[in-house]
Amino acid sequence: LLSAIPYIGKTVMEWLWGGFSVDNATLTRFFTLHFLFPFAIAALTAIHLMFLHEMGSNNPLGLNSDGEKMSFHSYYSFKDLVGFVILIMCLFLLTLFQPQLLTDPENFIQANSLVTPVHIQPEWYFLFAYAILRSIPNKLGGVIGLVMAILILFTLPLVKKGKFRSAAFYPLNQIMFWAFVTTFTILTWIGACSVETPY
């Protein structure tokens, strides 16, 4: 993706790789990033909870009243703790008893440097991006399309000027939301299809 950037793409790609091709330096860098990102996410979560504790949560209807507020502890902290325990139990059951349940079957094929698997695809949560990239023949155009598809989500707070936060009062917002869900689902399905006509 970075190589599609005009003029500086090749330089940025080589800097990220740590050389002219994918090597040990590249693997070390990406392993380090994958190790550090959970800590960064945990720190941002703690900051979010701190601000939520200080400022308080707002009503989805947009009608805030101090008289309707209730204490976070013990009403919601216990609910969050129960949800956290259930989530961790599901994770433990999955990793300890069925670790291969959600694994791609092609991961069980013995590695062969001379033969590339016929149908390579990313994980399911990246299939929408994969569908966008492969639907546009031009490499730079595909990257621009993908970036625009993601950045458009950041414009949503700017276009919503209603008095209420809930979409229940705005039918057009509901239509747009379900159109987004439908588009995302179709793109994910197309990304999972083999690269052949008409996909």
**Catalytic residues, which ones?**
53, 57, 79-80, 123
| Dist CA 94 CA 1 (whole Å) | 33
- Size of the chain in residues: 199
State the distance between the two ends of the chain, measured CA to CA, in whole angstroms. Answer: 21
Q: Give the count of alpha carbons within 13 A of 197, CB side only.
A: 0
- Which residues contact residue 127 at a Cβ distance below 8 angstroms, ignoring those fewer than 6 apart? 121, 187, 188, 189, 190, 191, 192
- Core vs surface per residue 147-162: b (16+ CB within 10 A) or e: eeeeeeeeeeeeeeee
| Dist CA 57 CA 36 (whole Å) | 29
| Dist CA 168 CA 161 (whole Å) | 15
